[in-house]
């Protein structure tokens, strides 16, 4: 992406009202130029060839050809960053997740559903700008995925205060899926913050639950964070963890957005550092901006083991880069190396013990 010119966007939606709303929002930003719009994929195809946009906003439900089919064709023949604009119905949420699997870099709810116009303004700008800097793999050049689980886990090695926390944004739904599906059952409790709109987060958790060797679901207020359970922060809610008697609990709130988003990774990481930093394993994955970096700094200071995804496998190397630049990452790893590293950190017992052996690896890039 050429930083010296505006981000060129093509808006694709069968609704003239939605096309106008998206165009108006994006056109208010001096860094963005809406170069055109299209009412269906056939018109979009011609305009992509004519206008050469940097980013596409794409509706899923359209006449003549649905957006998901068009996306698959597009990413095969002319890969480019796509932000899906989808309804928040159950069907729309499932289709949006399929779109992310098919190569879309982000998803946002349609105007008038989960987001108000004001919220749409901020979210749309953030996601389109993030998409403009996304790394979209060429066909046949996708990031490597492990074909077998990272290993097994002896539950006798676990400590009751161990906890695993993840943070991710642009490109994170697929990155999280690739990591979590390679982890064995019986792990300490897992808490996940993925920047994602309401309702989509529930569909995302349900999809992970179908694929993982342990239970995954959207977090509810005061959920017990137990071994063998992964909780996904609901869209539009921050998630924190607190220690009560002999277990962690997930606490949700709608405090102001942080880093233009709710949930925010820093909110989760900060709370984990305050609870039991030396028993935490923290992982920061692909995403635009710096959310999670300052929280990881607090975790590192408290004795946590910290991992970040490397640049080569990130869709957007923003959040991990920010943490690396703070000097608070023990290991910078390709995506396919993270499951085994995480498992080894957990098996070592307390994170504070692990840190005595990982200090030398501070900010080391482990190559594939």
Domain positions in the chain: 7-132, 155-365
Place of tokens 């993030």: 130
Q: Is the pLDDT of residue 363 over 60?
A: no
* pLDDT at residue 330 greater than cutoff 70: yes
Higher pLDDT, 361 or 172: 172
Options 3.40.630.10, 3.40.50.2300, 3.40.980.10, 3.40.50.720; CATH of 7-132: 3.40.50.2300
* pLDDT tens per residue across span 97-111: 999 999 999 998 886
Displacement of CA 209 from its chain's centroid (Å): 16
What is the per-residue pLDDT across 203-246, written as a single tens digit (0 to 9) for each?
A: 999 999 999 999 999 999 999 999 999 999 999 999 999 999 98
Is residue 122 classed exposed, middle or buried when 0-12, 13-18 and 19+ CB atoms within 10 A define those classes?
A: middle
The CA-to-CA distance between both ends of the chain, in Å, stands at 26
Question: What are the phi and psi torsion angles at 51 (to 5°)?
Answer: -100, -20
Contact in structure between 200 and 211 (CB atoms under 8 Å): no
Which of 24-33, 115-124, 349-358 comes out lowest in average pLDDT? 349-358
Task: List strands edge to edge, sheet with 7-12.
Answer: 32-38, 7-12, 55-59, 82-86, 106-109
Residue carrying the six token digits 């165009």: 23
pTM reported for the whole predicted model: 0.88
| Sheet containing 305-309, strands listed edge to edge, beginning at the edge strand earlier in sequence | 215-218, 229-232, 190-194, 163-168, 280-284, 305-309, 331-333, 364-365
Chain centre to alpha carbon of residue 187: 21
Q: Which residue has the higher pLDDT, 275 or 114?
A: 275
CATH superfamily ID and name for 155-365: Methylesterase CheB, C-terminal domain (3.40.50.180)
Active site residue ranges: 169, 195, 291
pLDDT for 354: 41
pLDDT band at 150 (very low <50, low <70, confident <90, very high): low
Helix and strand counts by DSSP (H, E) for the chain:
12, 16
Tell me how crowded residue 347 is: count the other CB atoms within 10 A of its CB: 14
Kindly report the backbone phi and psi dihedral angles of residue 215, in degrees, each rounded to the nearest multiple of 5, phi listed first.
-75, 135
User: What's the mean pLDDT when you consider all of the chain?
Assistant: 88
- The token duo for 308 is 């970040």
What confidence tens digit (pLDDT) does each residue in 52-96 have? 999 999 999 888 899 999 999 999 999 999 999 887 677 778 899
Residue 21 · residue 108 · CB < 8 Å: no
The two domains 7-132 and 155-365 share their CATH topology (first three levels equal): yes
């Amino acid at each position: 992406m050429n930083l010296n010119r505006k981000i060129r966007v093509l808006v694709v939606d069968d609704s003239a009202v939605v096309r106008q709303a998206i165009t108006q929002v994006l056109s208010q930003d001096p860094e963005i130029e809406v170069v055109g719009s299209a009412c269906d994929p056939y018109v979009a195809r011609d305009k992509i060839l004519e206008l050469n946009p940097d980013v596409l906003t794409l509706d899923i439900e359209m006449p003549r050809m649905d957006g998901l089919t068009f996306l698959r064709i597009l990413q095969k023949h002319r890969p480019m960053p796509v932000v899906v604009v989808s309804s928040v119905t159950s069907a729309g949420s499932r289709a949006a997740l399929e779109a992310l699997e098919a190569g879309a870099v982000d998803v946002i709810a349609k105007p008038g559903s989960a987001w108000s116009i004001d919220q749409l303004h901020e979210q749309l700008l953030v996601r389109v700008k993030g998409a403009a800097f996304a790394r979209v793999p060429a066909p046949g050049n996708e990031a490597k995925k492990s074909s077998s689980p990272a290993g097994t886990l002896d539950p006798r090695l676990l400590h009751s205060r161990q906890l695993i926390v993840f943070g991710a944004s642009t490109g994170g739904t697929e990155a999280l899926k690739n990591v979590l599906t390679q982890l064995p059952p019986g792990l300490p409790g897992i808490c996940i913050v993925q920047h994602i709109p309401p309702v989509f987060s529930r569909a995302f958790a349900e999809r992970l639950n179908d694929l993982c060797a342990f239970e995954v679901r959207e977090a509810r207020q005061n959920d017990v964070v137990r071994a063998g359970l992964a909780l996904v922060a609901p869209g539009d809610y921050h998630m924190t963890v607190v220690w009560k008697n002999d277990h962690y609990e997930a606490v949700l709130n709608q405090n102001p957005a942080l880093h233009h988003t709710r949930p925010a990774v820093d909110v989760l990481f900060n709370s984990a550092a305050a609870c039991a930093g030396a028993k935490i394993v923290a992982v920061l994955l692909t995403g635009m901006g710096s959310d999670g970096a300052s929280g990881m700094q607090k975790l590192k200071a408290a004795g946590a083991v910290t991992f970040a995804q490397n640049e080569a496998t990130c869709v957007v190397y923003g959040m991990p880069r920010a943490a690396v630049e703070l000097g608070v990452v023990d290991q910078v790893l390709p995506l396919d190396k993270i499951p085994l590293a995480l498992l080894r950190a957990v098996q070592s017992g307390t994170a504070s013990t692990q840190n005595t052996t990982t200090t030398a690896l501070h900010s080391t890039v482990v190559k594939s």
